[in-house]
Amino acid sequence: MTKYTRPERRPAVVTGASSGIGAATAVRLAAAGYPVALGARRVDRLEALVQQIRDAGGEAVAHPLDVTDDASVEAFAAKASADLGDIEVVVSNAGSLRPGRIDEAASEVFTAELDVNVVGAQRVVRAFVPGMRARRRGDIVFVSSDVAVRARPFMAAYAAGKWGLEGLAHALQMELEGTGVRASIVRPGPTWSEMGMDWSAEDTEMVIGGWIRFGLARHQHFMQPTALADAIAMIVDAPRGVHLNLVEVNPEAPVEDA
């Protein structure tokens, strides 16, 4: 792991940290000298990641977190602050993606998606931003998706959630104007992650078939989660007086042989 250094101690939390972008971000921030608190439902994954970070010389703790539960979010925030001190950086990454046809999906599916992707983010805001506002310092980064502006078939609940997340984030940016607290959005394009790994074969065929039908799979390339971790580190490392409101990150096509 590349070791970075920071001149100051800025405790950070990462939600949805058990895999993918969340795990990569936790590792990246810890390597940069941020003490990090990891939150997710899969505690065994978190504990292994904490050990990895500590073995590399970083500072990390982990606690269970379910962003759909008020009490869980509040308990996580209290434990993270008790372990690391005042939290200055929050990466709101927890998300959910369940495919399906709009006209066949039960309302409970949409409700569950929105609860994780939008309301869950608001719970995280409520748990951490008031303290940042009081201290007049802090960063919160929302991990969105390119489906927030380029919807795909059979992913309507996820797209609606990410559109809603960006609406929440933009409103928060305005509410925090002049407080010293920065709210930012990172909007990744296609990225390798565990989302979709537990889909049925039928769901996978439906989604990929939809992409092909509408030309969305043409020239499709994927990034590693570490690319997003680097972008998030860039956002929170921006000097005071600079606000990276929205950073869109897309994979670059491989260079073709001459």
Active site residue 162: yes
Catalytic pick among 92, 158, 184, 193: 158
Catalytic pick among 18, 34, 162, 184: 162
Catalytic pick among 19, 92, 144, 145: 144
pLDDT in tens, 59-88: 999 999 999 999 999 999 999 999 999 999
**Is residue 76 within 8 Å of 65, Cβ to Cβ?**
yes
**What is the pLDDT confidence band of residue 202, given thresholds at 50, 70 and 90?**
confident
**What is the pLDDT confidence band of residue 210, given thresholds at 50, 70 and 90?**
low
**What is the pLDDT confidence band of residue 219, given thresholds at 50, 70 and 90?**
low
**What is the pLDDT confidence band of residue 151, given thresholds at 50, 70 and 90?**
confident
**What is the pLDDT confidence band of residue 11, given thresholds at 50, 70 and 90?**
very high
SS3 letters across the chain? CCCCCCCCCCCEEEECCCCHHHHHHHHHHHHCCCCEEEEECCHHHHHHHHHHHHHCCCCEEEEECCCCCHHHHHHHHHHHHHHHCCCCEEEECCCCCCCECCCCCCHHHHHHHHHHHHHHHHHHHHHHHHHHHHHCCEEEEEECCHHHCCCCCCEHHHHHHHHHHHHHHHHHHHHCCCCCEEEEEEEECCECCCCCCCCCHHHHHHHHHHHHHCCCCCCCCCECHHHHHHHHHHHHHCCCCCCCCEEEECCCCCCCCC
Active site residue 18: no
Active site residue 158: yes
Residue 220 has what pLDDT? Answer: 66
The CATH number of 12-249 is: 3.40.50.720
Would you list the domain boundaries of the chain?
12-249
Answer whether residue 198 shows pLDDT above 70.
no
Mean pLDDT of all residues belonging to the chain: 89
